[in-house]
Amino acid sequence: MSTTPPSTAPNGRSRVFSESDEIQILKCLIRATKSIPPPITTVGTSTINRIIKRLDHRFTVSQITDKIRRLRDKHHNHARNRALVRNHHDRRIFKLSKRIWGKKATPRKKNSKSEDQGAIEMGGDGVEKLDKFPYLVAEFSKVLPENEVWKQKMKRVEEEKLRKMDQEWVMLKVEEAKLVAKKAELIQQQIME
């Protein structure tokens, strides 16, 4: 599939992926995630394996995963500053990336104050974003890394309940830290004896 060999990047490092490899990766992601509304936050192992097969098995899973992360970061940089999209390849990458990581148009409430503020219609007393609950989100992401359903369900839960759940994770982290410190203290004490 890849027609151009890896070359030297502008910063002097050799490129592992050619421009056509980048295009192929994005096209594979689009095909693999077409039933999932953007933005896509995680990519499953089966999708990465499909990409590797499409690129003639020249790359490792970690190389593909890292490349996807860098393409996503590049998309976000281009979305914030369109001046970074300088050439035809960048424009093509941006256009394809937007289908994967771009914002999805969402329905809005009519004749409400939140419409002017651009709030997403959630139905019920749910929350728009889970950013306010980093510990809760981090723990669920560890347990369910390839599953996005829990995020959608979590957004329907009342904010106060989510805050309480997040606080429980904070308290657990504090207890874990105390135990680690106590363990280190015990090890130090036993070494001294």
Query: What residue ranges do the domains of the chain occupy?
Result: 19-101, 134-192
Does 187 have pLDDT greater than 90? yes
Does 110 have pLDDT greater than 50? no
- Nearest one of 95, 63, 67, 58 to 79, comparing CA atoms: 95
Q: How many angstroms from the chain centroid is the CA of residue 49?
A: 18
Q: Which residues of 152-168 are buried (b: 16+ CB within 10 A; e: fewer)?
A: eebbebeeeebeebbee
Confidence of residue 186 (pLDDT cuts 50, 70, 90): very high
Q: Which of 2-11, 64-73, 76-85 shows the lowest per-residue confidence on average (mean pLDDT)? A: 2-11
Does 176 have pLDDT greater than 50? yes
End-to-end CA separation in angstroms for the chain: 64
Q: What percent of the chain has pLDDT over 70?
A: 77
- What six digits make up the tokens of 57? 């098995």
Confidence of residue 50 (pLDDT cuts 50, 70, 90): confident
- How far apart, in Å, are the Cα atoms of 17 and each of 5, 26, 41, 55, 58? 8, 12, 22, 10, 10
The reported pTM is 0.47
* Overall size of the chain counted in residues: 193
- What six digits make up the tokens of 114? 């939140």
Does 107 have pLDDT greater than 60? no
Measured CA to CA, the distance from residue 171 to residue 135 in angstroms comes to 10
Does 173 have pLDDT greater than 90? no
Confidence of residue 104 (pLDDT cuts 50, 70, 90): low
Per the prediction, the chain carries an average pLDDT of 76
Res 181: pLDDT: 92
Confidence of residue 29 (pLDDT cuts 50, 70, 90): confident
- What six digits make up the tokens of 40? 């896509």
Q: Assess contact for 60 and 21: CB atoms under 8 A.
A: no
